Amino acid sequence: MPFEDLIYLFDIVGTLVFAISGVVAAVERKFDLVGAFIIGLVTALGGGTTRDLLIGSTPVGWMLSLDYLWVVISAMVLCFFFYRQLARIRKGLFIFDSIGLGLFTILGLQKALNAGLSIPIALMLGIVSAVFGGVIRDVLTNQVPLIFRKEIYALASLFGGVFYLIGIEMNFSSALNAFISIGIVILIRSLAVKYGWQSPFLPLSEVEKIKKG
Amino acid sequence: MPFEDLIYLFDIVGTLVFAISGVVAAVERKFDLVGAFIIGLVTALGGGTTRDLLIGSTPVGWMLSLDYLWVVISAMVLCFFFYRQLARIRKGLFIFDSIGLGLFTILGLQKALNAGLSIPIALMLGIVSAVFGGVIRDVLTNQVPLIFRKEIYALASLFGGVFYLIGIEMNFSSALNAFISIGIVILIRSLAVKYGWQSPFLPLSEVEKIKKG
Amino acid sequence: MPFEDLIYLFDIVGTLVFAISGVVAAVERKFDLVGAFIIGLVTALGGGTTRDLLIGSTPVGWMLSLDYLWVVISAMVLCFFFYRQLARIRKGLFIFDSIGLGLFTILGLQKALNAGLSIPIALMLGIVSAVFGGVIRDVLTNQVPLIFRKEIYALASLFGGVFYLIGIEMNFSSALNAFISIGIVILIRSLAVKYGWQSPFLPLSEVEKIKKG
């Protein structure tokens, strides 16, 4: 399979897994058909949309093809018929979710570099592409975004992006570079889950002490 | 009255009714002058703004004229003097709200088609134009968006848009097409209210069962 | 110090103070590293980002330089080492926060005028530049935006903007005009704090009465 096709396949699978996670969240909140569609859509495509808006790349990318709309609709159909199974194997989707996280990071990063933005800004836009769909999902379901509190999700994206930039510097082939970067993301997330890694900013006890004092 | 003027009149009336619904929501939450203005504005203009941003049609449409700003200010003045009456006749505004919903759908859809986007994407942007003002209003007032749960609001918009597309295909005149599409929206919403139509995505009992199981 | 350098200095200091207020809010909600960074960033840069998106000035301004990213990172470093002190002297930051509010208003207003927009729309975009960072911060931390309820924050920005427009009309020099406008903002906020000014839209008692009746 040529490299471009593989990227395309990963992109579609990643989008599907993100959309499923959105639709499942909507079902848990008893949203109706419209709610499930919108939450599925923004979870899967909200990150890339935010990136494209910030760069000024409009109409935003996914609107130029019908593929992504079909992926979201497929996620709804899958959830409609296999909700029970999908809710059960959710953790099994972890690996695909991590592939999506890594791929969206490097696709976003590359798009920002192509737009002539500086490396640190491009790195940030890569992370935005990968994580802002989930942020918008959480805002629309009236919750504090998960990534602000519990996960090293965004940090895994950051490290994947950094390795991708190193790979560019070292003239790795696109394919090798993509595989290494996505591998790093999968590795970090797996280790984080296994060892319960967190990324506190200030020790909670410290903050409590200050509040009392 | 020429057709263009009628569209303009409907546009202004629809915007006014949407803005009033926003200001009333702000008053109920005891927001101040600034809160009432911002909520009125985003409820009335947030949908078209989202559409214009996604298409890349900037500066966003309503900023190129003062009419819409005046409409929002008028909504505030009306609420200031007639809040009691407006809160009481809110259901009487239903018909104007439905006209706004239908008109914003087809104006948004047409704008997306004019921008060269495909029919399914244009249909989606028509719905976004009509319903996202309410979504942003609900997010800013810290509530789960109403359309995710309780209404066939967005589906009425969808059907209005579909009929509009059929009308284009059948070479209906713009005026006839607009009237039919808006009529469909009014009809669907009226029937939905009368017969208590909902659009559940998964039967709630099913989800409960899964959660327990 | 030449005028441009002073504006730049104020811009950096204002951004830093806004970012600190965001990071402090994130720490209080026990957000982690990622949450603190994102909240700091959107609080400081969200207003200008919203303005740039609405005007269509993309890539959004702050992404074209690394200065603003460094300011946000500096805010995090400062909060990491001096959180206790910063939380304590928060009121002492009031004056810098007001300088930021005033400066962001007139910079935003001027940018909108330069984009050819009308005076009322430019005035509105000036206010958006100054206050929407805080609105997005509150939405992301799942709270009703503070400026909708408690502060004359946005009105101080409005008055600063109006005086700036008068200054343009009267051919004041840029420097004089900026100083007067920012001074007005500081003055109004100080008076508002001292005398407990609020800006209710409808008297609360009135709304209560209506709800009961």
Q: Are B76 and B40 in contact (CB under 8 A)?
A: yes
Q: What is the pLDDT of residue C1?
A: 65
Residue A145: cis peptide before it, omega within 30 degrees of 0: no
Q: By CA distance, what is C200's nearest residue in B?
A: B32
Per-residue pLDDT of chain A (213 residues; tens, 9 = 90+): 677 787 888 888 889 989 988 898 888 888 888 889 999 999 999 999 999 999 999 899 899 999 999 999 999 999 888 887 877 776 667 777 888 899 999 999 999 999 999 999 999 999 999 999 999 999 999 888 888 877 688 999 999 999 999 999 999 988 899 899 999 999 998 898 888 888 887 764 555 555 544
List the single residue in B30, B32, B140 with the smallest CB-CB distance to C207: B30
**Percent of chain C predicted with pLDDT > 70:** 92
Q: Which residues 6+ apart lie within 8 Å of A6 measured at CB?
A: A175
For chain B, say whether A142 makes contact (Cβ under 8 Å). yes
- Tens-digit pLDDT profile for residues C53-101: 999 998 998 999 999 999 999 999 998 888 888 777 766 677 778 888 9
Within 8 A of A55 by CB-CB distance, chain C residues are 58-59
Within 8 A of B49 by CB-CB distance, chain C residues are 54
Within 8 A of A54 by CB-CB distance, chain B residues are none
The residue behind tokens 């009236």 is A142
Interface test with B, best of A30, A53, A86, A90 (most B CBs within 10 A): A30
Cα separation, B45 vs B59, in Å, equals 13
List the single residue in A53, A154, A155 with the smallest CB-CB distance to C53: A53
Distance to chain B for C59, nearest Cα, Å: 12
Distance to chain A for B124, nearest Cα, Å: 10
For chain A, say whether B121 makes contact (Cβ under 8 Å). yes
Average pLDDT, chain B: 87
Show the tokens assigned to B205: 């009992």
Q: What is the pLDDT of residue C161?
A: 95
- Tens-digit pLDDT profile for residues A156-178: 999 999 999 999 999 998 889 98
A201 contacts C31? CB cut-off 8 A? yes
pTM: 0.91
For chain A, say whether B196 makes contact (Cβ under 8 Å). no
A149 contacts C32? CB cut-off 8 A? yes
Q: What is the pLDDT of residue A213?
A: 43
pLDDT, mean of residues B59-75? 93
Alpha helix (H) residue ranges in chain C: 3-28, 33-55, 67-88, 94-114, 119-140, 153-169, 174-195, 204-212
pLDDT, mean of residues C17-43? 89
Q: By CA distance, what is C70's nearest residue in A?
A: A120
- Tens-digit pLDDT profile for residues B171-188: 998 889 999 999 999 999
Residue of higher predicted confidence among A210 and B160: B160
Q: What is the pLDDT of residue B213?
A: 43
| pLDDT at residue C14 tops 80 | yes
Whole-complex ipTM: 0.88
Q: pLDDT-derived band of residue B99, with 50, 70 and 90 as boundaries?
A: confident
- Tens-digit pLDDT profile for residues C46-57: 999 999 999 999
For chain C, say whether A144 makes contact (Cβ under 8 Å). yes
Q: By CA distance, what is C60's nearest residue in A?
A: A54
Interface test with A, best of C38, C135, C140 (most A CBs within 10 A): C38
Within 8 A of B53 by CB-CB distance, chain A residues are 53, 58
Within 8 A of C142 by CB-CB distance, chain B residues are 142
Helix, strand, or coil (residue B196) = coil
Q: What is the pLDDT of residue C213?
A: 43
pLDDT, mean of residues B32-58? 93
Q: pLDDT-derived band of residue B149, with 50, 70 and 90 as boundaries?
A: confident
Q: What is the pLDDT of residue C106?
A: 92
CA distances from A127 to A48, A50, B5, C46, C135 (A): 10, 11, 47, 17, 22
